[in-house]
Amino acid sequence: MSEKPSLNWGLIGASNIAREWMHEAISQHPDCRVVSVFTSSEERGEAFKADLGIARYYTELDAFLSDPELDAVYISTTNNRHCAEVMAAAKAGKHILCEKPLAMTYEDAEAMVAATVGAGVVLATNHHLRNMETHRTIKAIIDSGEIGDVTSARFSFTVDLPDNLARWRLNDPSLGAGVLLDLTVHDLDTLRYYFGHDPVRVSGIGLTTGADTPEGVLDNTTTVWEFPGKVLVICHDSFLVPYGGTAVEIHGTEGSISGEQILWQKPQGKVYVTTKHGKREINFNHAIPYHRTVSDFVNAVRGKGVPSASGRDGADSLRLVLAAREALATGRTVEISASAKYAR
Ligand code: NDP
């Protein structure tokens, strides 16, 4: 363990995830400490200072970023703010871990990636499911060939939003409300991680189902994806399922993998494999995924690796949900690789 922490972080956003998970995840790393927070609210700044022991807060972004002590920022504001805050942090020469979805538009995401490359700073996206032992185990089983060639998969990211998370996620499309930017973007990042490539087309149906959900905000969607190699994937993402739980299934020619309760923030759930030899539970030790997010990020800053999900990954998973949004809006299948709009 280092004698003295050597990477000073500032939080951009006095958010729930910063308070519940990321302040601890950053602070537990032996080379990191959180020195400041930027928030639009004096009240939340005071609360973060008092509750988390953060030395100072700022309500002006320029003043926050001008702190010469600051090396890196973690951005967890509402989705509409990510782009401008990444651009400002890159300009100030800070390394950046940004929440998903990386941006609201693909054009913004591309500009963010380009700005950070130009500034020579690391940009990572907090797609935490890649860092869950459950999903790492599933990927390892797929890669081992035990279930043969993958033919299909199903994600059920079906949850019931608690009140503290429901606010803008249900009410405000200008901040990125709806399941596509909240849940489906995680599904697609995880599928890209499992399979190593992007899907080629998407279609589906999206509904506004909840009595309190404003018309036009999709809170209940099924998207259907074709990945290369004739792999069919169904993602059901919903804010309206109080008792269903979350699940992942991967089916291959020689077996199937099932993951129960594995699409959450908290490390939990079980993974099973079924083949001609029967069904067995896979054993592993759960770990907080955000710890790996931070340690991979620190290694990337030190030039010793790459982030577990890069800015490029964040832009690519966003590109896919924007293709899904177009498919749901038009009722048509969107060809992803052939579409100039989504071409890289
Ligand atoms: P919050 O709603 O808790 O916070 C977002 C912003 O809203 C804050 O930056 C804050 O602005 C403002 N805010 C916070 N609390 C209140 C309040 N009580 N009333 C009014 N405004 C408030 O967001 P989440 O933590 O749920 O999500 C933040 C980001 O993180 C999103 O982009 C989301 O997609 C992502 N996320 C990622 C997860 C993951 O596992 N990767 C999990 C959860 C969220 P200010 O800072 O200016 O004070």
Q: What is the pLDDT of residues 34-76, one digit of tens each?
A: 999 999 999 999 999 999 999 999 999 999 999 999 999 999 9
Q: Is residue 344 part of a domain?
A: no
Same domain, 137 and 121: no
152 in a domain, yes or no?
A: yes
* Residue 315 maps to a domain: no
Q: Is residue 340 part of a domain?
A: no
Query: Is the same domain home to 122 and 264?
Result: no
Residue 300 lies in a domain: yes
Cα of 168 from ligand 1 centre, angstroms: 9
**Are residue 73 and residue 159 in the same domain, yes or no?**
no
Domain of residue 140, CATH code: 3.30.360.10
295 plus 174 within the same structural domain: no
**Predicted local distance difference test score (pLDDT) of residue 5:** 58
Is the same domain home to 68 and 160?
no
List CB contacts of 258: < 8 A, sequence separation 6 or more. 247, 248, 249, 250, 271, 272, 274
Same structural domain, 157 and 50: no
Question: Best substitution site from 11, 48, 76 to test ligand 1's pocket, by max atoms within 8 Å of Cβ?
Answer: 76
Q: How far is the CA of 78 from the centre of ligand 1 (A)?
A: 5
Q: How many domains, in total, are found in the chain?
A: 2
201 φ/ψ angles, rounded to the nearest 5 degrees: -160, 160
Do 267 and 300 lie in one domain? The reply is no
Is residue 234 domain-shared with residue 155, that is, in the same domain?
A: yes
Nearest atom in ligand 1 to 40's CA: 47
Mean pLDDT over each residue of the chain, to the nearest integer: 95
Are 210 and 331 found together in one domain?
yes
Mind listing the pLDDT tens digit for each residue in 288-334?
A: 999 999 999 999 999 999 999 999 999 999 999 999 999 999 999 99
Within 6 A (CB) of ligand 1 lie 13-17, 39-41, 44, 76-79, 99-100, 126, 128, 165, 167, 182, 265
Residue 265 located in a structural domain: yes
**Residue 65 and residue 121 in one domain:** yes
Atom 35 (ligand 1) nearest CA: 99
What is the DSSP secondary structure assignment for residue 93, as one 8-state letter?
T
What residue numbers bound the domain in which 264 lies? 129-287+320-335
Question: Percent of the chain at pLDDT above 70?
Answer: 97
Confidence of residue 167 (pLDDT cuts 50, 70, 90): confident
User: Using alpha carbons only, what angle is made at residue 295 by residues 247 and 302, rounded to the nearest 5 degrees?
Assistant: 140
**Alpha-carbon distance 285 to 125, whole Å?**
24
The number of the ligand 1 atom at minimal distance from the alpha carbon of 165 is: 26
- Per-residue pLDDT band for 341 (boundaries 50, 70, 90) equals very low
The answer to whether residue 220 is domain-embedded is yes
Q: Please tell me the distance from the alpha carbon of residue 9 to that of residue 74, in angstroms, as a whole number.
A: 7
Residue 343 forms part of a structural domain: no
Residue 118, Cβ density class (10 Å: 0-12 exposed, 13-18 middle, ≥19 buried): exposed
Q: How far apart are the C-alpha atoms of 259 and 141, rounded to whole Å? A: 12
pLDDT, tens digit, 9 for 90 and up, residues 192-221: 999 999 999 999 999 999 988 888 899 999
CATH no. for residue 23?
3.40.50.720
pLDDT tens-digit readout, 85-104? 999 999 999 999 999 999 99
212 class by beta-carbon count within 10 Å (0-12 exposed, 13-18 middle, 19+ buried): exposed
Residue-wise pLDDT tens digits, 101-133: 999 999 999 999 999 999 999 999 999 999 999
- Residue 153 · residue 259 · CB < 8 Å: no
Same domain, 157 and 237: yes
Per-residue pLDDT for 342 more than 60?
no
Predicted local distance difference test score (pLDDT) of residue 344: 40
Q: Using 50, 70 and 90 to split pLDDT, how confident is the model at 232? A: very high
Cα(183) to centroid of ligand 1, in Å? 15
Same domain? 113 vs 196: no
For residue 277, count CB atoms less than 10 angstroms from its CB and return exposed for 0-12, middle for 13-18, buried for 19 or more: exposed
